[in-house]
Amino acid sequence: MKNFFLIICFSFIAFIVTLLLLLGTIGYETEKFNTLISKEIKKNYPSSQVEIKKVKIKIDFKKINLFLSTSSPSIIYSGVDLPISDLKIYFNLISFLKANPEIEKIIFSIEEFEISKIQKLIVGVKPSNFKSFILNNLSKGSVNGQINLEFGENLKIINYKAKGILKKTHIIFSNKYQISDTSFNFIVDPDLVLINSIKSNFLEIPIKKGSITVKREGEIKISGSIYTTLSSDKEKIQKILKKF
């Protein structure tokens, strides 16, 4: 009887360990959480339409939380189809076990997202300098990358980080200066904006490469460098200089 009890206990412990290892490495794929994810998104963004296929459950042992991931979900917000290739939603593990899940973080990857669709998406956003710049100073091109959002109570965003690539975009300043065919890599968080691998064309000046760093440390500090090759044609150079 004693040996039987030990075998039962050992088998139960082995099952739990195996399950945790499975959730911590490969994960477990299911369709049972599709409704949960759709419900959470719809609750906070009523104008969205969500369709999710299979969801994989995994545990992040380092941060002691559980996350659900899915690939190529169909999410339409304000009439715009969001080209999300990968979506991960992190929950507080204790709250999840209590059947009252609290979202701590969302990470999603975006495939080629046209600037025109981004402009349509932010029309309903509160007025800001950022919104004004996107609507009035950008045209053409696309962006792709990954966005990391961290949440506090009532899904209030308390931190963020974005990284990606901007491709073939036109930027207009003061309706006078146009920077055409602009491409670069970027990293953005509340304290830093880092732009590198810049390629563009400004007033017929071909920009081959460059980088710009913007630091927010009480005051905004901007530094950077840009490399170009100018023609030896004096008339062309004088024509360019007259535009400044």
Q: Write a three-state SS string for 178-208.
A: EEEEEEEEEEEECCEEEEEEEEEEECCEEEE
pLDDT: which is higher, 66 or 169: 169
When the pLDDT of each residue in the chain is averaged and rounded to a whole number, the result is 77
CA dihedral for 160, 216, 136, 197, sign (positive or negative): negative
Residue with tokens 């950022």: 130
pLDDT of amino acid 8: 57
* pTM of the entire predicted model: 0.73
Residue 12's pLDDT is what?
45
Percent of the chain with pLDDT over 70: 69
The CA–CA distances, whole Å, from 3 to 6, 7, 8, 16 equal 5, 6, 9, 20
Whether the pLDDT of residue 29 is over 90: the answer is no
Per residue in 160-208, pLDDT (tens digit) is: 899 999 999 988 876 667 788 899 999 988 888 899 999 988 877 888 8
Bigger pLDDT: 41 vs 163:
163
The mean per-residue pLDDT over the stretch 94-116 comes to 80
Q: Counting Cβ atoms within 10 Å, is residue 59 exposed (0-12), middle (13-18) or buried (19+)?
A: buried
More confident residue, 38 or 184: 184
Q: How many CB atoms lie within 10 A of CB 87?
A: 21
pLDDT for the residue numbered 17:
45
Top-confidence range, 142-151, 201-210, 225-234: 142-151
Q: What is the pLDDT of residue 228?
A: 83
**Tokens standing for residue 31:** 């369709």
